[in-house]
């Protein structure tokens, strides 16, 4: 059989991950067992529908796999119901919106420009194209969400769906207050916990399951599973939109959300990915995962403090979770240039807009960093201080210093496998 160049490229990517330092907040290193399941023969099986309710034959085994995945997820988060079929977090959000809203209904989410996610109403996303999107943000002086401001906007907009969750917000969320506001304006409350799911599952951060009508997430990031999405309900309940069965009975919310996934926004589920999700959820149920998530937060705090000690301005003045957003305006360098310089040193980060940014999303005034991936490799306090020093050296002195730092980065990375 002729050798396929794609495998040479995969090995190059493997070397890149192994030899560098991964600080992109949304990335992590899935375990060998997760990847084994994702690359299994389950990719051969079509299974439209739900366990025991399929449109194809031969689904006996994948039914058991998907049900086990659901059961493990519900156990992990204390949920009563879950759908594990969404292909991504954005797909999960789209399915929720299709199930609960009509085109043109108002939604209220966290502004993308302040750290939100594009699937929460961005005008370039279907959530902003098909629904009437409004936004809340952070306060300019504190870099934090002001719940009184959220309440004021919600009472003005009166959204059908209120969304909490972010991709670049370093603080925990007051889900109880969000629920109070949602109830006051008659909105459903959706929590998108894509970035912090692993930290929430082990009790490191507030749990939205007790307060939010619907919870969505990805399964990678801090959950350390395969790329994918999930939808959960803390408790099932009759859908408040009044959707009925053919007999005229009010459908349960779980049924409405199931329909939002299939046939609403997807066809057949990816059973090999669902199996990989099940493996990741079982890993997350082990005591060692709680130790890991504690270290993720500890590392983030140490790294953020070391950077602030070096004179860097962190939005909101620190972090409660795994990520930090650095405003580089005072350093005279753009996020785009900072990302490129760090890349020369084999330190991977991403440019990111900061609240009230005056630069475009392609340039930005900031960078976002996260500790989930490096903690998986076993990095601890000593390495956090060293990474902060490397970042400062590279951003302060440019390309020549980046070449020197690269050698030091590669030498350190040799001591840490991808899975400690």
Tell me the three-class secondary structure of 241-278, residue by residue: CCCECCCCCECEHHHHHHHHHCCCCCCCCCHHHHHHHH
221 is catalytic: yes
Verify whether residue 184 is a known catalytic residue: no
- Say which of 19, 48, 236, 381 is annotated catalytic: 48
Q: What is the pLDDT of residue 419?
A: 81
Catalytic residue among 100, 196, 202, 218: 218
Q: Which of 72, 160, 179, 221 is catalytic?
A: 221
The CATH number of the structural domain formed by 287-413 is 3.90.1150.10
Taking the C-alpha atoms of residue 259 and residue 237, their distance in angstroms, rounded to an integer, is 15
Q: Which of 144, 158, 177, 227 is catalytic?
A: 227
Please, which contacts does 119-122 make with residues 24 or more away whose CB atoms are closer than 8 Å? 119/89, 119/90, 119/93, 119/94, 119/192, 120/93, 120/163, 120/165, 120/192, 121/163
Q: Is 144 a catalytic residue?
A: no
**pLDDT tens track, the chain, 420 positions:** 789 999 999 999 999 999 999 999 999 999 999 999 999 999 999 999 999 999 999 999 999 999 999 999 999 999 999 999 999 999 999 999 999 999 999 999 999 999 999 999 999 999 999 999 999 999 999 999 999 999 999 999 999 999 999 999 999 999 999 999 999 999 999 999 999 999 999 999 999 999 999 999 999 999 999 999 999 999 999 999 999 999 999 999 999 999 999 999 999 999 999 999 999 999 999 999 999 999 999 999 999 999 999 999 999 999 999 999 999 999 999 999 999 999 999 999 999 999 999 999 999 999 999 999 999 999 999 999 999 999 999 999 999 999 999 999 999 999 999 887
Annotated catalytic residue, options 27, 46, 105, 130:
46
What's residue 1's pLDDT? 73
- Tokens at residue 268, please? 């057949």
Q: Which is the catalytic residue, given 66, 100, 131, 192?
A: 192
Second CATH level (architecture) for the domain 33-284: 3-Layer(aba) Sandwich (3.40)
pLDDT at residue 408, as a whole number? 98
Are the CB atoms for 317 and 327 separated by under 8 Å?
A: no
- 374: which 2 tokens? 């490096």
Ordered by start, the domain boundaries in the chain are 33-284, 287-413
Give catalytic status of residue 48 as yes or no. yes
């Amino acid at each position: 059989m002729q050798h396929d160049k794609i495998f040479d490229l995969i090995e190059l990517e493997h070397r890149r991950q192994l030899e560098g330092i991964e600080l992109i907040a949304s990335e992590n290193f899935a375990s060998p067992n997760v990847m084994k399941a994702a690359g299994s023969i389950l990719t051969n099986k079509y299974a439209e529908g739900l366990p025991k309710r399929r449109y194809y034959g031969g689904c006996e085994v994948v039914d058991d796999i998907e049900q086990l995945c659901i059961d493990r997820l519900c156990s992990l988060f204390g949920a009563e119901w879950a759908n594990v079929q969404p292909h991504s977090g954005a797909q999960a959000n789209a399915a929720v919106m299709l199930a609960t809203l009509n085109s043109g209904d108002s939604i209220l989410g966290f502004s993308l420009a302040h750290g939100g996610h594009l699937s929460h109403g961005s005008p370039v996303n279907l959530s902003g194209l098909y629904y009437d999107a409004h936004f809340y943000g952070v306060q300019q002086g504190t870099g934090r969400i002001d719940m009184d401001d959220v309440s004021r906007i919600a009472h003005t907009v009166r959204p059908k769906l209120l969304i909490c969750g972010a991709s670049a917000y370093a603080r925990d969320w007051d889900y109880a207050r969000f629920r109070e506001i949602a109830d006051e304006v008659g909105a459903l409350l959706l929590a998108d916990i894509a970035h912090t799911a692993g930290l929430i599952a082990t009790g490191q951060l507030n749990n939205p399951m007790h307060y939010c009508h619907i919870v969505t997430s990805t399964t990678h990031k801090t959950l350390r599973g395969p790329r994918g999405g999930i939808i959960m309900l803390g408790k099932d309940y009759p859908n408040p939109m009044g959707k009925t069965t053919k007999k005229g009975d009010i459908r349960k919310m779980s049924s409405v959300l199931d329909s939002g996934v299939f046939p609403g926004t997807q066809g057949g589920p990816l059973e090999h990915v669902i199996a990989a999700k099940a493996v990741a959820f079982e890993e997350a149920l082990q005591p060692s995962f709680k130790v890991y998530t504690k270290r993720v937060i500890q590392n983030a705090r140490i790294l953020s403090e070391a950077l602030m000690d070096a004179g860097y301005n962190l939005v909101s003045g620190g972090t409660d979770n795994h990520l930090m957003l650095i405003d580089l305006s005072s350093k005279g360098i753009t996020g785009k240039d900072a990302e490129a310089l760090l890349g020369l040193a084999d330190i991977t980060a991403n440019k990111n807009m900061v609240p009230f940014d005056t630069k475009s999303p392609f340039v930005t005034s900031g960078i976002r960093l996260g500790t989930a991936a490096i903690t998986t490799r076993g990095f601890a306090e000593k390495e956090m201080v060293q990474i902060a020093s490397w970042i400062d050296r590279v951003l302060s002195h440019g390309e020549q210093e980046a070449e020197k730092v690269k050698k030091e980065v590669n030498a350190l990375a040799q001591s840490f496998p991808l899975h400690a």
